[in-house]
Amino acid sequence: MTDKKVHEVVMIGAGPAALTAAIYTTREDIDTVIYEKGVIGGLAAITDWVDNYPGFADGIAGLELAENLQKQAERFGAKIELGEVLSVKDEGKYKKLETTDGEIYAKAVLVATGSDYKKLGIPGEQEYYARGVHYCATCDGAFYREKDLVVVGGGNSAVQEALFLTKFASKIDLLVRSELRASEVLINELKKNEKITIHLNTTTNEIVGKDNKVIKVIGTKNAKNIEFPTDGVFVFIGLLPNTKFLEGSDIDLDKQGLIITDDHLMTSMPGVFAAGDVRSGATMQIASAAGEGATAALRIREHLENY
C-alpha cells in the first residue's frame, strides 16, 4: 500500500449531501476528494428555482445554490475530480475504488450519488425540462398558481403530489397509463377533490410547447388521440437511485436499489457511509440532504478517530 495514494475520505457524487459533508470534513483538515461524473450540485443544480431552502427568504436559483456549495467546500480545501467511480471494494483497512482515472484508496467513503427521476422518454420532455416539465411538486408547484396542470402517474407519489398541487393549480388532469395503484385512502381523497380529473388507461405520448413554454400534452385513450391543454406537466413515475455501480458489492441495497444504512449512516460495509437521496429512507429534499451530509461528516470523523 505504500506505493498507493490513500485519501482519508473519498466522496462519490457532488450534490448537496457530499458538498455539505466536505465543508465539515475539510474545515477539520481531513483530506477530502469528491468524484462527480455529471453535474456538480446534482439535481439541485438543474432545478430552476429553489424556494424551500432555509436562509433564502426570496428563494435561490438551483444552479446558484449549487455553485455556492461548491465554492464553500473548495474554500476549505475539498478537491473535486470529474470522473466516475465504477466500484467500491473492502480491503480491510482501506477501501479500494475503481475509477475512470484508475484505482484509488480511502480510509472512509461517503456515497452520495443521489437519485434521478424516471423519465417518460417522449418528445418534448427533455426540451422543456424546468420550463414547463417538472418532477418535484414541492420544488416547483408554487409557480403554477391559478394555472392548469397535467400530472402523469398512478402510484402513491403521483396521487400525493397531485393533491399537493391543488394548493396552487386551478385544474389538474391526472393521466394514468392503466389503473390507479395508490392506496385506497389516497384514492378516496383523490376522487373527492373537484380540481382533479382522473384519466385512466391514458398514455402520455408528447409534450408540446410554443414560445419556449408548454402548451399541451398529447395522449392516447381507447386508441384515439386526446389533447390536454396545460401550463405545465409534473411527472411522477418513480425514482432511479444511482447505485448501479454498487450492484454485486458488499453494500446492501433495498428493493428499490437505495442504500441501507444504520443510525450512524454507515452502510453494511464498515467505513462506507451514505447520505442524501441515494439512502433508503431519505426524504428527497435538498435541505435534508445537506443535513444528512453534515451528520455523515461527523460520523466519518468519529470513524477516522478510531482508525
| Cα separation, 280 vs 203, whole angstroms | 30
Per-residue pLDDT at 307 exceeds 90: no
Which residue among the candidates 140, 173, 231, 277 is catalytic per the annotation? 140
Q: Which domains does the chain have, with CATH numbers?
A: 6-116+239-305 (3.50.50.60), 119-235 (3.50.50.60)
User: How confident is the model over 281-307, as a mean pLDDT?
Assistant: 95
* pLDDT tier, 225 (very low <50, low <70, confident <90, very high otherwise): very high
Who has greater pLDDT, 4 or 209? 209
User: How confident is the model over 216-229, as a mean pLDDT?
Assistant: 96
In the DSSP assignment, the letter for residue 150 is E
Which residue among the candidates 29, 31, 136, 263 is catalytic per the annotation? 136
For the chain, helix, strand, coil in percent to 5 are: 25, 35, 40
With pLDDT > 90 as the criterion, what percentage of the chain qualifies? Answer: 85
Per-residue pLDDT at 161 exceeds 70: yes
| Cα separation, 218 vs 3, whole angstroms | 60
Q: Check: CB of residue 130 under 8 Å from CB of residue 49.
A: no
Find the distance separating the first CA and the last CA of the chain, reported in whole Å. 16
Which residue among the candidates 139, 173, 231, 277 is catalytic per the annotation? 139
Q: Check: CB of residue 271 under 8 Å from CB of residue 95.
A: yes
Q: Is 58 a catalytic residue?
A: no
| Cα separation, 37 vs 83, whole angstroms | 5
Q: Is 140 a catalytic residue?
A: yes
Q: What is the pLDDT of residues 56-115, one digit of tens each?
A: 999 999 899 999 999 999 999 999 999 999 999 999 899 999 999 999 999 999 999 998
Q: Check: CB of residue 116 under 8 Å from CB of residue 139.
A: no
Q: Is 51 a catalytic residue?
A: no
Note the pTM of the prediction, 2 decimals: 0.75
Per-residue pLDDT at 38 exceeds 80: yes
Q: What is the pLDDT of residues 236-285, one digit of tens each?
A: 998 899 999 999 899 999 999 999 999 999 999 999 999 999 999 998 89
The pLDDT score that the predictor gives to residue 141 is: 93
* pLDDT tier, 46 (very low <50, low <70, confident <90, very high otherwise): confident
User: How confident is the model over 214-227, as a mean pLDDT?
Assistant: 96
| Cα separation, 4 vs 234, whole angstroms | 48
* pLDDT tier, 3 (very low <50, low <70, confident <90, very high otherwise): low
Who has greater pLDDT, 137 or 188? 188
Per-residue pLDDT at 2 exceeds 60: no
